[in-house]
Structure formats: C-alpha cells, structure tokens
Structure 1
C-alpha cells in the first residue's frame, strides 16, 4: 500500500494522464486552512483494460458517515482491473475537515449537502463545495453518493432517486435496497448538482453514523458491483435481491410537539397502519405527556434513537408507499 509521503498531489483530476489497467492513489489539494496548510481530499482512480464509462463513488460528504468509506476501500481492494471496461473514481472522504473533528457539518456549521454546487467566490463551505464539483465530480458519467443517518438516528438500507429517470430507477433497483424513495434532487445535494451536469446519480443510505456495519457495507458493495455489471463495465452477473424493494412516492419526518423522554415503539422497515402507536413522550417523573400515532399508512425508513428530545425533535421518517 502506498504511504502518505509517496502519494502524488494534484490540483484536479485529468483522466487522460492515467494508463489503462492501472490503480492510482492521489491527494487533491482542494483548499488551505488558516495557517496556509493544504487540505487534501483522497482520490482512488481505477482504469480498466478497456475504455468505457466513468463511475464515481463518493462518501463522507457528512463527517460522521463512515460506512461508505469502507465500501470504497473494499471495492478497490477487490476489483480486477483486467475485467473492467472504463474507470472507477472513488472519493472515500469528501468532507475532510469535518471527519477529523467528528462533526457532521462543514467547519463553518453549514451542511455541504445542501449548498451544492457551491460558489467559487463564496464563503468557506461554498468554495469547498464548488471545487469538489469542478475538480472531481465533472469527470463522472454516473454517481453513487453513499450516506448514512445522522447523529442520534438510524436508517434502513434505502435509496433516494428521481424515479422519473429510467437510468436512475434502474441504478436504484440494482442496489438491492429495502426501500426506494422517489426524491427529485432539487435541494442543493451533491446528487442534484451532478444531475444538473447530466450525470445519472442516486443517493445510497448505508445504515447508521459513527460506526462500520459489516452487513450494510457488504450490501452496498454488492450494489456497486451490480452497477458495474449493469453499465457493462464488469463481466459479472447481477446479484438479484431476495426480496423486492418497496417503493415510496414520498416521505416526511414526524416531529415531537412536546419536549421530554421519547420512546419510539416501531422498528426500521415496519409497515404501519393509520392510527398505530409510534411513540410515547414522558416527563422526567415518568408521566406520559403525549402519544404519537401514524397519521397514515406507511413504512418506517428511519427513526430517532436518542430518547432525550426537546420540542421539535425527530421521531420517525415515514415513507408513503407507491
């Protein structure tokens, strides 16, 4: 494995500089900190023996989302470049400043995944986002953007995709997820910025924050290999799901209207009927303050695991089935 000091430093990805049938590690000097030290973003470039599409895989856009980093590491440790047509570009950590301090948001408190494509003349987070897009993402033909739940929450293995796009829908299905959520990318996300550039992109929600989950990582890695096969980049059969994904036409979070100690009664991927009890809020003495019931039929995509909740805290992420 290449050591830190031997890995070349570049300003942007130029794919014509890399040979076919090669695996390259690079540091992209994206920005500098307040004492003029460079901030490097790690890049892995695998070029196959034949030309073909460029698949980009990104992880850790939020600094506490670790599962995707392991997916990318395992992919490049297992891929056979002599079977690959095209190029895979892996960014195991997009948000380098935040992972170092175990923070979800960028160092100025902004969510990078709400300000894409940023602004070359903007503030710290907007410049960082803009250079991610222009120096890395623009090289992609397809994008799998790997995420997890946030602090104090857990997620099912699910996909966000614009299901009006046939390719995005197929990319979503072959990840073999538990749930697919129809979510047109118009909210400043990396996926949305990529789509605006003509890149077919989906968001893969790979479990929970601040940990490595072997099952989730394995499922996502299978989805990546399925993607390579679907794009005719890799000569392997697609691994079909044992259970068909449930498709949601929309989703929303249910929030607590009173503060207190929240007990969530439902489980991930549980099918709910309107009126089912989903949570109970108690005060510090144990007295029930409020009970919450499913407002309509749906499925639990994600939920809170933090029992201490102020007014307005999240309870469950409810998906409404198509």
Structure 2
C-alpha cells in the first residue's frame, strides 16, 4: 500500500511533494474557463488522507477563510499522510455570493451527481468520481444560511462511532446529532466509507474571526489525533452533545431584536427576544419554551411569521 502511487486529476504527487491543481468545471457565458483550485500536500511518511473543504455553498465565506488560514499558516503540511485543501468548492456561488449554482440548484442536494444532469449535478459527479475516492476523512466547513448565525458546532450522526470520536476531538462547544440529508455530499461520502464531520459557524456573507479560529483549531486537533501532525492539541473543551433540537419560530411579523447571546444556556420562560412594529403600537415577547442551549440566532432586523428565530436543544447527553 505504501508503494502505491497517489494520483489526483491525472497527476502523481510523490512523497514529500506539493501540488497545486485545477479541476475544470465549465465555461462561463463569456467562454472563460471556470476551475476549482485544489492544494495537495503529501508527507514523506505514509498516513491517512484528509480533505478540508469550504464553499460548498458559495456565500458561506467563513469556511473559505478557515481553509485559507490553514494553507496560509502551512498547517496543511503533514508529517504523515496527505492533506487535500479545497477552499472554494462552489466557485460559481462564491463569485456571485449566492448559495446555489447558476442553474438554481443547491450543490449539496445533488450528490453523487450525474454525467448528463444539470450543471450542479455534473460537477457533483466529477467530484465524486475524481476526488472522493482518494480521501479517508473529510471536514466540511459551513455557516448559517441567510441571517441565521450558528455558534460553533460540529454535526454528524452520533450513531457512527468514528464520526462521533472525531467530533469530540474537534473541540467545538456543541456537537449536534444530525443524520445524513438525502443527496448531500456527506451522505455520498459516508456511503463510500469515508468519515465526515460538518463544522457550522457564523452566518453567510460575514467573516467572523471567532468562528474562523474555532475552525482552524478544530482541524489541527483532528490532524494531531490522526497522527498527521505533531502539534499539541488546542485547549480542550467539554462540548454540549445535543441529541435533539427544535426551532423557535416567530409568532408574528415585525422588527426583531434578540435579547440573549448565542451559545447561552437558558431556562424555560427566559425572555429571548421581542418583535415590534415600526409605529410603537405593537410589541410581542418571545420566551424560551423549555430549558436548553441556544446555538443559532436569527440576526435579521425584519422577520415574518413562522421564520426560525432560535435553535434550541431539546435533549442532550449528560
């Protein structure tokens, strides 16, 4: 196994070598080529292959910044094994600061893709065929959609022992039980026998150094645990492990003001926020329906009835 060549996108990366590769996606309407940048660092000693990736959703820039920082600080240079970095998977969305591909599809809902499907599906197929088989472990960096801000948390199926162990090693304040979503990247990789965790932090279109630092440190913890680096683990935390959660939704439309800090533990009937009208005649308070931990807060100034306001734990591992 140690003598088997490591070939990615037709290029052999020898032990101790670095490679900067590009995966052709498509041509823009201007006929300019659009390519995905892939940075490979292979150690002189054998070990596992770890994929670090951001920008599956093009507007989730914290994930892009995490992988970028890992590369800039040369943390992706392992002493054993191979690290593959893809800072921006959905370049289309990143260019336009949108979640989706130009065909309107969510890339994370079309895996494993098809060679003759939509643009997003064709790209998913290319990734599944050319990149996914080469890796053993994956950390997929995400952020909250729209104005919903995630406190740093790791997500995965707690029934998967290898995944659960990596989630604890990562060191985020929260671990959230989350089964694979149909046609997601995580589902496809899991079916291929890969161990995948998702890191969620911050919100779309917003860079947050607190979130980025948690993501970088978590990746270092994983690499150290896998024997790929010789770093000492970053400061340990005792994560809150959430088995079940629910969204607290807006009972009315109006201007929204959250009144609790993201990441807080709250008691039942705690005042979480208020919804008002612009005329000073209407004010409705939002209370916690149970004891729990808040790990996602909607930061939108205006909300509509039924909008998700707070994500709260319902059941946790003690």
TM-score by length of 1: 0.89
**1:182 aligned partner:** 177
Out of 148, 165, 169, the position equivalent to 1:153 is 148
Is the CA contact (8 Å cut-off) linking 2:138 and 2:194 kept in structure 1? yes
Counterpart in the other structure of 1:250: 244
- CA drift at 1:287: 2.8
Partner of 1:298: 292
Deviates more, 1:265-274 or 1:34-43: 34-43
Question: Does 2:75 match 1:91?
Answer: no
Does residue 118 of structure 2 align to residue 118 of structure 1? no
Any gaps of 5 or more consecutive residues in structure 1? 1-11
For 1:226-247, what per-residue CA distance to the aligned partner results, in whole angstroms no more than 9, with x for missing partners?
1111111222332341x31111
User: Does the CA-based 8 Å contact 1:174-1:240 persist in structure 2?
Assistant: no
- Distance change in 2, residues 1:15/1:217 (3 Å): farther
1:7 is matched with: none
Contact in 2 for aligned 1:49/1:81 (Cα 8 Å): no
Give 1:14 shift.
4.3
Cα deviation 1:201-244 (Å, max 9, x = unaligned): 00011323323322322221111111111111222332341x31
Tell me which residue corresponds to 2:257: 263
Measure how far apart 1:96 and its partner are.
Answer: 0.3
For 1:200-215, list aligned pairs within 5 A: 200-215=195-210
Q: Is the 8 A contact 1:46 1:76 kept in 2?
A: no
Q: Secondary structure at the match of 1:148?
A: strand
C-alpha contact (below 8 Å) 1:47/1:81 kept by paired residues: no
Secondary structure of 2:24 counterpart: strand
What SS does the corresponding residue of 1:238 show, helix, strand or coil?
coil
1:231 paired with 2:249, answer no
Question: Is the alpha carbon distance of 1:234 and 1:280 closer, same or farther for their aligned partners in structure 2, counting shifts above 3 Å?
Answer: same
Q: CA deviation at 1:128?
A: 2.1
* Distance in 1, Cα, partners of 2:75 & 2:301: 46
Give the deviation of 1:15 after TM superposition.
7.8
The whole-number CA distance in structure 1 between the counterparts of 2:157 and 2:36 is: 28
Displacement of 1:188 in angstroms is 3.0
Indicate the residue corresponding to 1:219 in structure 2: 214
Instruction: Give the alignment's Cα RMSD to 1 decimal.
Output: 2.1
Q: How many Å separate the matches in 2 of 1:187 and 1:202?
A: 16
- Asked if 2 retains the 8 angstrom alpha-carbon contact of 1:13 and 1:135, the reply is yes
In structure 1, the residue corresponding to 2:212 is in which secondary structure? helix
Alignment of 1:164 onto 2:159: yes
Q: Which blocks of at least 5 consecutive residues in structure 2 are unaligned?
A: 1-6
2:211 is paired with a residue whose SS is: helix
Deviations 1:258-288 (CA, angstroms, capped at 9, x unpaired): 2211222221111122222223222221333
- 1:55–1:24 CA distance, 2 compared to 1 (3 A): same
Candidates 187, 194, 209, aligned match of 2:189: 194
Say whether the 8 Å CA contact 1:27–1:42 is kept in structure 2.
Answer: yes
Give the length in aligned residue pairs: 310
